Chains A and B, each alone.
Chain A
């Protein structure tokens, strides 16, 4: 227990909208070890981002964390007061968002935005914070960092902006980096560069990473373990190698077969998972994936399967795994 960096237990986050209560995250549990990279995979709207924001306690109204525990080094984030949260955010857990264009404030210089976090968490004066900022900008390989310190976000390219976000996130030596789709908004050619950089820096800084993505290709090369989410729940959890070799849950299998491969002959149609993810206001009874599942059995429609061990370190929420 003591060696877990982050332990999320039975987290439930809901959004109270006019259309009803959206159960965005239901009973989600997972953990991260120190310096580990965990991939969180799932399609849009499955609760990945809400889980990440919940860990930072950044859920805004009408959303609310209604249950569970989030233990960061044994301390419950949900019990923290404002002061402790200010220290946690940016200082112990840092976050990178999907779209670096909208995630940076357009009216302040990049240097200003990186250094303000440094001043708050590392308690450095202006001069030292400036030096630290320029050092961080060099670490994320922004060329000519000293000059670019005084430039505004619009003067940076998309890839460079995401490097700014990474520099900002890592500048205060956080123990955990939450990266929410960090490469989704970037060109494919830039994606690999940014991922390599994140990998190298998190190893160098000994930062654990929670990498949220819908792209299995991204987690394959980055994560040691993977958590697969569907309709607000964790449906499979496995070491990366095992997940790719022997996916237990039919949803994971379907996801993997939907990845385009260069080995299939030309002209073959891409595989898709038929149907839509369920409405999170009125979840069907039983397994949420049942309506789309190719292996569905009568039992799946009435009873919800719990996460159960199906192999070494591998757990899946399915009555009929593999």
Chain B
């Protein structure tokens, strides 16, 4: 129960996903759904094949390097042979891939090459809730900050507010997130040295730890959403139906919040899909530099260790998330834009 509570944001994200899937099952016609699920299977097959092939020849002969690492200093040819048998590394590549697929169908992602006592699921299961918790703060912050500023900027196009917003969002959009983190560290160290109140520079566990990474992630994301919603709203405001709405004698408030906003939101949903999908993969630089034990950190570690099964697990999980989110975007599109029929 305690574990459940500490992962509350992740649990909420899961519930939202389940609710959405239930809605889709009820509202969307089965033909469309079957097509999309078939597409999903195809994507997973393709992605697993490509990662397997690339990993197989990319990580040294038969992935053996990673296993040697696990074997350690006390390694004898016997132990190594034993390990190779555990992972089936003596089989030709197509058999290995066949076995991999067979396990995948049963929902088994295999064992980690660098630690045979840990399954890939185990590693992902530890990382994903952490990454999701971080994103559960960062993404709402991104939307809450980015979209209203962009919309307001478009309404006041050409004003000082608009030009300032444009410059600031361009700046944040252009600066890589790791640079922001470096600046942030400078500031915090500066404060700490002078015994001024400051936030932690890295770590995970304390609620206060989440503030800085979430805000930095949100700043970069919000810059993107500000620009996108400004462009989208500006385009809508130039449409003739906005003039019609004004000619009808509607108040400016109604023109903007009813007629314009509803249309301007549609492209934002497209951008939100991938943003949500990549939430499960975590934010690479942010997790790494803040030392947050999320999926991205696990993924980086697995790449360093040439731990092929974990890399594959992360990639497949990402692919599934992207495919599911695209499905979600399509369904939401159908609700927002009556010209698109998926229902």
User: What residues of chain A have their CB less than 8 Å away from a CB belonging to chain B?
Assistant: 56, 58, 61, 85-91, 94-95, 97, 99, 102-109, 116-117, 120-121, 152, 154, 165, 168
Contact = CB atoms under 8 A, between A and B. Distances in A.
Contacts of A165: 244
Interface stretch (B48-56, B96-104, B335-343): B335-343
B116 interface: no
Interface of B: 158, 239-241, 243-251, 254, 258-259, 262-263, 266, 336-339
Contact of B245 (A85, A105, A109): A105
A46 B95 CA distance: 77
A89 B338 contact: no
Given A90-B248, A90-B249, A105-B259, A99 B240 contact: yes
A120 B243 contact: no
A55 to B, nearest CB: 11
Contacts of B248: 89-90, 94, 116-117, 120, 168
Contacts of A86: 249-251
16 contacts: A89-B249, A90-B249, A94-B247, A95-B247, A97-B243, A97-B244, A102-B240, A103-B240, A103-B241, A105-B244, A106-B263, A106-B337, A107-B263, A107-B336, A109-B338, A168-B248
Contacts of B336: 107
Contacts of A89: 246-249
Contacts of A94: 247-248
A247 B239 CA distance: 38
A120 B308 CA distance: 65
Q: Which 5 A-B pairs have the closest CB atoms?
A: A90-B249, A89-B249, A90-B248, A105-B241, A117-B248
A116 B339 contact: no
Contact of B249 (A87, A103, A105): A87
A275 to B, nearest CB: 31
A106 B338 contact: yes
Given A90-B248, A106-B241, 18 more contacts: A58-B246, A61-B158, A89-B248, A94-B247, A97-B243, A102-B239, A102-B241, A105-B244, A105-B259, A106-B337, A107-B336, A107-B337, A107-B338, A108-B259, A116-B250, A117-B248, A152-B339, A168-B244
Contacts of A106: 241, 263, 337-339
A117 B263 contact: no
Instruction: Name, among A91, A102, A105, A120, the residue most crowded by chain B CB atoms within 10 Å (CB to CB).
Output: A105
A64 to B, nearest CB: 14
A61 B250 CA distance: 19
Nearest to B337: A107
B42 to A, nearest CB: 32
Judged by DSSP, the binding face of B is helix
Contacts of B239: 102
A58 B249 contact: no
Contacts of A121: 249
A121 B251 CA distance: 11
Contact of A88 (B249, B262, B263): B249
A35 B211 CA distance: 67
A3 to B, nearest CB: 25
A87 B251 CA distance: 10
Nearest to B240: A102
Nearest to A61: B158
Nearest to B237: A60
A58 B252 CA distance: 12
Instruction: Name, among B258, B266, B337, B338, the residue most crowded by chain A CB atoms within 10 Å (CB to CB).
Output: B338
A9 B245 CA distance: 27
A82 B196 CA distance: 52
A108 to B, nearest CB: 8
Contacts of B262: 105, 107-108
B245 A58 contact: no
Given A102-B240, A104-B244, A107-B262, A117 B339 contact: no
Given A86-B249, A117-B250, A103 B337 contact: no
Nearest to B265: A107
Nearest to B246: A58
Nearest to A62: B158
A91 B240 CA distance: 19
A109 B262 CA distance: 13
A229 B249 CA distance: 28
Contact of B247 (A56, A104, A107, A154): A56
Nearest to B259: A105
Contacts of A109: 338
A74 B266 CA distance: 45
Nearest to B157: A61
B293 to A, nearest CB: 44
B336 to A, nearest CB: 7
Given A86-B249, A86-B251, A117-B248, A58 B339 contact: no
A99 B336 CA distance: 23
Nearest to A107: B262
A9 B66 CA distance: 87
Contacts of A120: 248-250
